[in-house]
A and B are shown apart, each in its own frame.
Chain A
Amino acid sequence: MVTQEFSVVGKRMPDVSGVEKVTGAAKFTSDIYLPGMLIGKVLHSPHAHARIVNIDTSKAERLPGVEAVVTCKDVPKKQYTGCLMNLQSYSGIEVWGVHDVRVLDEKVRYVGDAVAAVAAVNEKVAEEALELIDVEYEQLPAVFDEIEAMKEGAPRIHDVVQRRQDDGTPGDEAVERNIGVHVAHKPVGDVEKGFQEAGYIIEERAYTSKQRQAPLETFQCIASFNAEGKLTLWTQFQVPNLMKRMIAYVFDMPVGMVRAKGEYAGGGFGAGLHLFRVPLCIALAKKSGKPVKLIYSRREEFTDRPTRETFGPYTFKMGVKKDGTITAVDRKVVAMAGAYVEFSGLSSLIATSVGNTVYRRQNYKAEADVVYTNKLPSGAMRGFGNPGETFIREQVMDEAAEKIGMDALEFRLKNLCQLGDPGTFGPDFPLTSIALDECIKIGAEKIGWKEKHGKKKEGVRRKGVGVSCMAHNSGAWPVHVEHSSAHIKFNEDASIVLTVYPATIGTGAYTSLAQVAAEVLGLPFEDVHVVWGDTDVTLWETGSHASRTMYIIGSAVYEAATEAKGKLLNRAAKKLGVAADELDIKDRRIYVKANPGKGIAAAEITKEAIYSHYDVEQFTGSSSYRPSNSPPPYQAVFTEVEVDTETGEVKVLKMVVVSDSGRAINPMTVEGQMEGGAAQGMGYALWEEPVMDTTTGQVLTDDFDTYKIATTLDMPELDTVLVEQPDPTGPFGAKGVGEPGAVNQAASIANAIYDAVGVRIWELPITPEKVIKALKEKKGK
């Protein structure tokens, strides 16, 4: 624990949006109504793979109340990608990116794919109009299995897509064997040699599931053109400026004619990183000449929103010496793109490297084939490849420990990375903080590792404990552009306006960023007024993803606040007749450090500067910031489970989450991220099972009764501990926080199951059926 040296940072400040949200005053996109606004609905393909031979919209157009119907004839023909991370680059397309999406295409590639859209006076009329659209499909053979899709003679899902050329521009390329893109990391060392040196080689395959973000607020988007043709958008953005740029590209508009305004969003978890149906909403607004709100129902949200990345299989091969040294790791992944590559190239790269900062770098290579099938595309979800990698890696770690006869914790501690080791992006960006050993020790004690792990188990219901460790990133500099910003201005009463634009998906970012500003400026927390939600007002901002917000935007705020403070103190110095560096500010008062009795109220300086006759000034600070590293946040999760050997049911009795995210700017917020992440991680591990009819490709789990997310009754006893080792490169020592919470659960639970009943499950989610099957197979041996 870190001693409390600060006034505001490190305090459990209540969220700045709390009163609005708890009184129902907070407006979400679903609550916004613009005058004259129409409601948009999408017509979805009933077929997994088909060519659209003809669309007759005449009946739909004649329905009273319908004001626009769009088909592929009414939208730009450009290929693009919904994966907006491609735009964190000058070129706009990355080596792992593929332009294979169109606003509306002449082909549909999964059940649920968009065929047409309608804008009408209300939702009921719009839905009625969808039924009146006559579509003639030429059904094509579909393929739902990645291995089958790569075989000779498999149905071709894409013929020509655009990939990044040597000059950085997108260029047409033919698709071979339904592989959307192949990604690989630069090998480190000599993997073959490493395996030769190993005493034991362990190779496993895992299959992960197509988890849904399932935010409580379904996708909604509002598009409105003003009289001059400027487009304003409202949706659950996470990266509004990247969205603007892609919209401008798709519609051939100047970027300056696109404005992204955000309201509160009912969750994100990565879903807001996807361009998704925003272009379709814009097309409806264009054609109708009116603002259009496109609404997705809960059923549409489950059957047509890009999901978490999925692997099938993820093959993990590790060599380990008898003394416990890991000598080599070889990762091969078949990534399930679904019908469009979208985020799958990037998530595959993350899934094959993010573990490299947990255990010391060994000989290593990794590659992935991102394969098309006629399934829902893979988008982005919290953890972004890390939950899948960790699920297999941490079970392999346990297996290796068992093979060499070492305690699972000792084995991990022996191989842990050290300060100064190469970071995620290589030796030029070394690790600047790591307290994972402390996390492991604390967690082990709290779960009762010594007493409970590795003991003989008896009875129908057996308990076991398991561990999982992970590392994530704090943004992805230097491989991505990580431009963030903050602007501060002093009001005449010495309160400030802080203008920033992280996502408004409920991460508590605004509160924590306000705490940073208040701390630097020596102001009480309530003197910080936060402004957000408009790309015409805020400076250019990447947004929220990759657990970047506190680490990167926090630093932008720190810099902007420092600049504003300097200007304020400069003016005060003249008034007080001292040098500026003799001054500091605390509790709204500027004072001489060596003689605190001498000072002046900050408000006197700010008011005098604004209302001066001759020397007007308003103190501002601005930062266009980029980081110089991406320090991994770390976490260890210890779980105690009870497995019923007759029913296969796995009950999580207790979970201890020990996190190293550097200094917690707001511990209440950080705990909330770990707790909420744990619920999603447990869902990934045990409860959330998306089901698709494998003959038709229809997604069957389309509401919360069939797709089960955690309720209050599912949550185990959850103990969250924050180990705060400040990172020297983060604002007040903070690192990334958003994603780590959802990464460790599946592996920790799987390892606990093994401890309880001696079987390993390599496929998610871990259902009772899988446990029973594994127990039967074990008995048979």
Chain B
Amino acid sequence: MRKEIATFIVNGVSYEELIESNMTLLELLRNKLGFTGTKQGCAASGNCGACTVLVDGKPTLSCLTLAWTVRGRNILTIEGLAKGGILHPLQKAFINHGAIQCGYCTPGMVISSKALLDENPNPTKEEVKAALAGNLCRCTGYVKIVDAVLAAAKK
């Protein structure tokens, strides 16, 4: 197994790491860099969305992304969303609208929602549902998640 040194920019901070060539971005984030906010929920098959991060602003399934291919790119994880202790409007809305139960899908859900609002600041309910269709939640039934995203969009 080949090992390479690469630089990763996560939440604005550079990390130089020695990685195996087949290491996924999810494994890098969780196991090497300690960003355990991003989760694994399926068979690393891209089926649940819990591993969603932003790579150069684009929502990306980190379980299906080889770490090597995103070296030098700007990676945003859930840990990087709040700035200086101030929660992002999406984070506030999720809390205030009861959109969080167990919290396991929440990081991926919030990141996917941010990607939507960055591109489409005023989505309809249907557009929100479509944007989040790849993020599974077993707890909430999605009702309050959609409410929260629409509320955050208004801010």
Contacts and interface: CB of A to CB of B under 8 A. Distances in A.
B98 A215 contact: no
A415 B30 CA distance: 57
Contacts of B133: 711-713
Contacts of B139: 267, 506, 672, 676
Nearest to A720: B143
Contacts of A704: 41-42, 45, 47-48, 136
Interface string A1-40: 0000000000010110111111111111011000000000
B10 interface: no
Contacts of B14: none
B95 interface: yes
Interface stretch (B54-62, B64-72, B79-87): B79-87
Interface string A692-722: 0000000000111100011111010010100
Interface of B: 30, 35-43, 45, 47-48, 50, 77-79, 81-82, 87, 91, 94-98, 100-107, 110, 128-130, 132-146
A15 B145 CA distance: 14
17 contacts: A15-B98, A18-B100, A22-B94, A23-B78, A24-B37, A216-B41, A269-B138, A298-B45, A506-B101, A506-B139, A671-B143, A672-B139, A703-B43, A704-B41, A710-B142, A712-B135, A713-B129
A297 interface: yes
Contacts of A679: 138, 140-142
Nearest to A26: B103
A337 interface: no
A322 interface: no
Contact of B91 (A22, A507, A720): A22
A22 B42 contact: no
In this complex, which of B35, B43, B78, B87 has the most chain A Cβ atoms within 10 angstroms of its Cβ? Answer: B43
Given A14-B98, A23-B78, A675 B42 contact: no
B33 to A, nearest CB: 12
Nearest to A741: B141
Contacts of A22: 78, 87, 91, 94-95, 100, 103, 106, 110
Contacts of B96: 14
A705 B45 contact: yes
A700 to B, nearest CB: 14
Given A22-B91, A506-B104, 20 more contacts: A19-B87, A23-B78, A23-B81, A23-B82, A23-B91, A24-B78, A28-B104, A31-B30, A217-B41, A217-B102, A298-B42, A298-B43, A508-B98, A671-B143, A676-B141, A677-B141, A709-B136, A712-B129, A713-B129, A713-B133
Contact of A676 (B82, B110, B140): B140
B140 A31 contact: no
A266 B100 contact: no
Nearest to A666: B98
Contact of A23 (B50, B79, B137, B140): B79
B24 to A, nearest CB: 13
A15 B98 CA distance: 7
A266 B102 contact: yes
B42 to A, nearest CB: 5
B91 A715 contact: no
A24 B107 contact: yes
Nearest to B80: A24
Contacts of A675: 140-144
A30 B128 CA distance: 29
Nearest to A32: B36
Given A679-B141, A710-B141, A216 B102 contact: yes
Interface string A30-52: 11000000000000000000000
Most buried by B among A24, A218, A720: A24
A264 interface: yes
B102 A505 contact: yes
A15 B82 contact: no
Nearest to B90: A22
B130 A713 contact: yes
B104 A266 contact: yes
Contacts of A217: 39, 41, 102, 104
Given A18-B94, A266-B39, A672 B144 contact: yes
A216 B107 contact: no
A126 B3 CA distance: 21
A485 interface: no
Interface string A270-298: 00000000000000000000000000011
